[in-house]
Amino acid sequence: MIQAPRGTFDILPEDAPQRKLVEIEAERVLGAAGYRRIETPTFEATELFARGVGETTDIVQKEMYTFDDGGGRSLTLRPEGTAPVCRAYLEHGMHKLPQPVKLWYLSSFFRAEAPQRGRYRQFWQVGAEAIGSDAAETDAELIVLLADLLDTVGVRHDRLRLSSLGTPATRAEYREELKAYLHAHEDQLADEVRNRIDLNPMRAFDSGDAGTQAVMRDAPKLLDRLAPDDAEHFARVRALLDDAGLSYELDPTLVRGMDYYTRTVFEFTSDELGAQSGVGGGGRYDGLIELLDGPPTPASGWAAGIERMLLAARELPQAADLVDLYVALATGDGARTAFDLAVEARRAGLQAQLELAGRSLKGQLRHAGRIGARYVAIIGDDGVATLKDMESGEQHDTGVRDVIPEILRAGRVL
Ligand code: AMP
């Protein structure tokens, strides 16, 4: 039997209501703040991600599904949404609109990662981007919106980690300082940390090794090295979050998987999730639009994983399927009449289903009960139908033509 590829999953009808709820809430929460929906193509020129996300990132080096389009152009299934949205912003001249341009999306993304609970090769994200504002208010607003969304979806035990990365120049200088510090304490570091000092010195902050942790307690922190205007920006973001009553932990070791971040970065995690604890995150990316050949344009945004949100949420109420009318057959003769009645009922705005499996009358009534039909019309001979109210059990004969008006008159349709 052919199965879905490793790391992918089917969204079955019973999964749909919960996912729909996330979409409705995203639309409501983000729409209320002036964000408008955008959808970009599933694949893009590979160069967009190589440049936008960064050549040296794990995403670009190891995780992209890249293919030749048959004409010598390299395309890639989108691994993230920010670079595509920025491309669309430039391509459609949105920099000429009043700024910031606020956009949101809900789409699927693709990363060739090792699959595990909460980590898939095709997954869904809802994301928001505000392009064209450098205000701390923009960052704080985006963070509050994500907090509100997680809240309405019922994500449990979430925590907000917050930091600032300053500018690329500050970061490069800090990196050198940290490398020098680590080299000076090489003998106290775990082997795997020592071997990666020059490659990825920030990883040392995440080490579980006691010796390394002792060294890292006194290590220089990027947050203490921010340039004055970056530090001021960050202080304002924090003050605004305080005003909004949002609690957060300052985490100077917070690093994210893309090169484009500047200044504010943040991540919501949930203790419900185990190893893959990130529910959603993002930050400011003031250099990205320029990197994509646009004018210098400050911007900020986030993305949150739908599957992780649902894994971390309490059981959501399942919306019952709606069936106003089930059209059953007493004999085979009424099949066309039954078909016509179902079509007309739908045109009249009712949710109507038709017997399609050749069941006995008893079987049809049992099935109608199972799917929660409010009424059953049993088509008999000569334009007569028996209309049964499934709730009260009451039934009476009526003309087939009167079935729809009677149901509408009863006014108890779902
Ligand atoms: P990122 O685009 O890496 O900042 O990820 C944003 C959010 O998307 C994460 O917090 C996760 O909720 C979700 N996410 C990222 N990668 C995956 C994946 N491979 N499978 C499922 N969800 C993911």
Distance 79 CA to ligand 1 centre (A): 9
Atom 21, ligand 1: residue with shortest CA distance: 119
The domains of the chain are located at: 16-166+226-312, 323-410
Q: Is 78 in the pocket of ligand 1 (CB under 6 A)?
A: no
Say what the pLDDT of residue 76 is: 98
Task: Quickly name the fold that domain 16-166+226-312 has.
Answer: BirA Bifunctional Protein; domain 2 (3.30.930)
Say what the pLDDT of residue 254 is: 86
Task: Quickly name the fold that domain 323-410 has.
Answer: Rossmann fold (3.40.50)
Distance 306 CA to ligand 1 centre (A): 9
The alpha-helical segments, DSSP class H, found in 329-402 are 335-347, 361-370
Say what the pLDDT of residue 56 is: 81
- Give the CA angle between residues 395, 399, 401 to the nearest 5°: 120
Say what the pLDDT of residue 64 is: 97
Domains 16-166+226-312 and 323-410 share a fold: no
Residue 309 alpha carbon, nearest atom of ligand 1: 12
Tokens representing 266 are 């943040």
Task: Name the β-bridge partners of 396.
Answer: 387
pTM: 0.89
Q: Is 278 in the pocket of ligand 1 (CB under 6 A)?
A: yes
Q: Is 9 in the pocket of ligand 1 (CB under 6 A)?
A: no
Say what the pLDDT of residue 414 is: 52
Say what the pLDDT of residue 255 is: 75
What count of other Cβ atoms lies within 10 Å of the Cβ of residue 402? 15
Dihedral (C-alpha) 285, 290, 294, 300: value to the nearest 10 degrees?
10
Atom 13, ligand 1: residue with shortest CA distance: 305
Q: Is 299 in the pocket of ligand 1 (CB under 6 A)?
A: no
Distance 282 CA to ligand 1 centre (A): 11
Residue 282 alpha carbon, nearest atom of ligand 1: 4
List of E strands, 60-208 = 66-68, 74-77, 101-110, 122-131, 158-164
Distance 276 CA to ligand 1 centre (A): 9
Atom 11, ligand 1: residue with shortest CA distance: 305
What is the side-by-side order of every strand in the sheet holding 36-37?
36-37, 101-110, 122-131, 299-305, 278-284, 262-270, 158-164, 249-250
What count of other Cβ atoms lies within 10 Å of the Cβ of residue 317? 9
3-state secondary structure 19-55: HHHHHHHHHHHHHCCCCEECCCCCEEEHHHHHHHCCC
Q: In the block, which residue shows the tokens 């907090």?
A: 147
- List of long-range contacts for 350-353, beta carbons under 8 Å, 24+ apart: 350/324, 350/325, 350/404, 350/407, 350/408, 350/413, 351/322, 351/323, 351/324, 351/325, 351/414, 352/323, 352/324, 352/325, 352/326, 352/327, 353/323, 353/325, 353/326, 353/327
Distance 305 CA to ligand 1 centre (A): 5
Which residue positions in the chain have pLDDT lower than 70?
316-321, 412-414
Q: In the block, which residue shows the tokens 């395309």?
A: 75
Say what the pLDDT of residue 316 is: 67
